[in-house]
Amino acid sequence: MSIEYANLCSVVVKQVFGETVQIVADCLFCAVSRTLPAILKKTNLSRKEVSTALAVLIKYQLVVFAPCATNPFLAEYSLKREEIFYILRYPSYVQLIHSKYGPVGAAIAEELLHSGPQTATNVLLKCIANSEIKEKIETYRENFLAMVSDNYLIRLPQLISAEEDPVPKLQTDAYQYFAPPDINLHFISEVQAGKEKVEKAADAGIYWHANFSRFHQDFRDTVMIGAIERKLGTSASECFKYILKQMYERTDPWQKDCSNPFTFAEIKQTIEKKSNNLDLIKHLDQYVSLIADDPLRFIRKIGEMGGGQYVVDLNHAFEELTLSWFGSVITERYGSKASRIFRIIHMKKYIEQEELQKEAMIPAREAKLLSYYLFQDQFIQIKTIRKAGGGGTGPAKAFFLFHFKPRQSVRMILNICYKALYNTIERSNFEKSEHKRLIEKSQKLDSIVATMKERGESAEYIEEILETLTPPEREILEKVKTRIKTLSKAELTIDDSIFLLQMYLHHSKVETSLTTKDKK
Q: What is the DSSP string of 423-470?
A: HHHHHHHHHHHHTHHHHHHHHHHHHHHHHHHHHT--HHHHHHHHTTS-
Taking phi over 0 as left and psi of -120 to 50 as alpha, with beta for the rest, 370 belongs to alpha
Q: Does residue 519 carry a pLDDT above 80?
A: no
> Is pLDDT of 427 > 90?
yes
Higher pLDDT, 219 or 200: 219
Sign of the torsion angle spanned by Cα atoms 173, 78, 4, 92: positive
- In the predicted model, is pLDDT for residue 516 greater than 50? no
Residue 397, pLDDT > 80, answer no
Q: How far apart are CA 289 and CA 458, in angstroms?
A: 67
Nearest-angstrom CA–CA distance, 198 and 187 = 9
Averaged pLDDT for residues 8-33: 91
Q: Distance (Å, rounded) from C-alpha 4 to C-alpha 26?
A: 13
**Do the strands 158-159 and 63-67 form a parallel or antiparallel pair, or are they unpaired?**
unpaired
Instruction: Indicate the helix (H) or strand (E) that contains 193.
Output: none
Residue 226: per-residue pLDDT: 93
For 58-81, what is the mean pLDDT?
A: 89
Residue 421: half-sphere exposure toward Cβ, Cα within 13 Å: 27
Select the more confidently predicted residue: 391 or 140: 140
pLDDT-above-70 percentage for the chain: 95
Q: What is the pLDDT of residue 202?
A: 83
Per-residue pLDDT at 514: 42
Give per-residue pLDDT as tens, 91-114: 999 999 999 999 999 999 999 999
pLDDT reported for residue 240 = 92
Spatial CA neighbour of 261 closest among 246, 272, 274: 246
* Host H or E run for residue 208: strand 208-210
CA-atom Rg of the chain in angstroms = 28
Average pLDDT over residues 207-230: 93
DSSP 330-372: HHHHH-HHHHHHHHHHHHHSSEEHHHHHHHHT--HHHHHHHHH
- SS3 call for 399: strand
Q: Check pLDDT > 90 for residue 381.
A: no
Which of the four pLDDT bands, split at 50, 70 and 90, describes residue 520? Answer: very low
In which element (H, E) is residue 227 found? helix 212-232
So what's the pLDDT on residue 513? 41
**What are the angstrom distances between the C-alpha of 191 and each of 111, 184, 199?**
19, 11, 10
Mean pLDDT computed over 357-380: 86
CA–CA separation, 76 and 67 (whole Å): 6
More confident residue, 457 or 106: 106
CA–CA separation, 432 vs 435, rounded Å?
5
Reported confidence tier of residue 510, pLDDT bands at 50, 70, 90: low
What is the residue-wise DSSP string for 243-273? HHHHHHTTS-TT-SSBPPPEEHHHHHHHHHH
Q: Quote the pLDDT of residue 515.
A: 42
What pLDDT is attached to residue 250?
86
Could you tell me the pTM of the whole model? 0.87
Confidence band for 396, pLDDT divided at 50, 70 and 90: low
Instruction: Please give the pLDDT value at position 193.
Output: 82
pLDDT of residue 113: 93
Each residue's pLDDT tens digit, 149-195: 999 999 998 887 666 778 888 887 878 888 888 888 888 888 888 88
Say how far apart CA 213 and CA 408 lie, in whole Å: 25
Q: Is the pLDDT of residue 474 over 70?
A: yes
| pLDDT above 90: percentage of residues in the chain | 34
Q: What is the pLDDT of residues 294-315, one digit of tens each?
A: 888 899 888 888 788 899 999 8
Question: Tens of pLDDT along 245-291?
Answer: 989 988 888 888 888 998 889 889 999 888 888 888 888 899 999 99
- CA-closest candidate to residue 252, choices 497, 496, 506: 506
**Mean pLDDT score of the chain, rounded to an integer?**
86
Distance CA 416, CA 4 (A): 8
Q: Say which residues have a Cβ less than 8 Å from residue 159's Cβ, sequence separation at least 6.
A: 168, 169, 170, 171, 205
**Whole-number Å distance between alpha carbons of 375 and 488:** 32
Query: Residue 198 above 90 pLDDT?
Result: no
* End-to-end CA, the chain: 40
Section 211-239 average pLDDT: 92
* Mean pLDDT for the stretch of residues 377-397: 71
Give the separation between CA 365 and CA 352, rounded to whole angstroms: 14
φ and ψ at residue 385, rounded to 5 degrees: -120, 120
- As a whole number, mean pLDDT of residues 318-336 equals 90
Question: What pLDDT, on a 0 to 100 scale, did the predictor assign at position 199?
Answer: 82
Report the SS3 class of residue 316: helix
The count of other CB atoms within 10 Å of the CB of residue 96 is 20
Contact 344, 359 (CB under 8 A): yes
- pLDDT of res. 175: 80
Confidence of residue 388 (pLDDT cuts 50, 70, 90): low
Are 275 and 238 in contact, with CB atoms under 8 Å apart? yes
